[in-house]
Amino acid sequence: MSYPPARYLGESGESTGVLRPAVQEPDLVMSPGGTQVHYLSTGASTNGAFGLYRWEMGPKPGGASPHFHRGMTESFYVLSGSVRLYNGVTWTDGTPGDFLFVPEGGIHAFSNESGQPATMLILFTPGAPREAYFEALADIRTNDRQLSDEEWTELFRRHDQFMV
């Protein structure tokens, strides 16, 4: 393995770092009283390198059912609480410091079933426009919309989400 090709060709560097304070309000609330999502770095803001999100789940059960992605990896890092993580074979109660990497095609899922708040980081590489997917799910939940099987399949397909 070698370093990737240079993406910056300047000679002296630039002052381009972006700080996101921890106290900044969430970018998205999945449903009233539900998960709050912080868009720490999107695919657009990282020039496609990665997308990083802080996922703050409330005490109500919820998460993502088993699925896989064809064009991106997904990683989970538990910051607080207990998050059930599925690696395609077994469910494990992830606690602070636990990490799950899922390569392209790897079946995975997550859920907060503890009855307590839990927070994790979710990392996608390369950086895909996951915000549109998260926002569509939030709209469906918030407005109690009922989608047909065909509409769910199309939503998932558009966002590289293949349910198993």
* Ordered domains of the chain (ranges, CATH): 28-163 (2.60.120.10)
Q: What pLDDT was estimated at residue 149?
A: 96
Phi, psi of 157 (to 5 degrees): -60, -45
Q: What pLDDT was estimated at residue 10?
A: 95
Rounded CA-CA distance 39/101 in Å is 19
Return mean pLDDT, the chain.
Answer: 96
Q: Which residue ranges of the chain lie beneath pLDDT 50?
A: none
Q: How many helices (H) and strands (E) does the chain have?
A: 2, 11
Rounded CA-CA distance 47/68 in Å is 23
Q: What pLDDT was estimated at residue 33?
A: 81
Q: What pLDDT was estimated at residue 34?
A: 87
The radius of gyration computed from the CA coordinates of the chain, to the nearest angstrom, equals 17
Rounded CA-CA distance 142/124 in Å is 25
Q: What pLDDT was estimated at residue 129?
A: 94
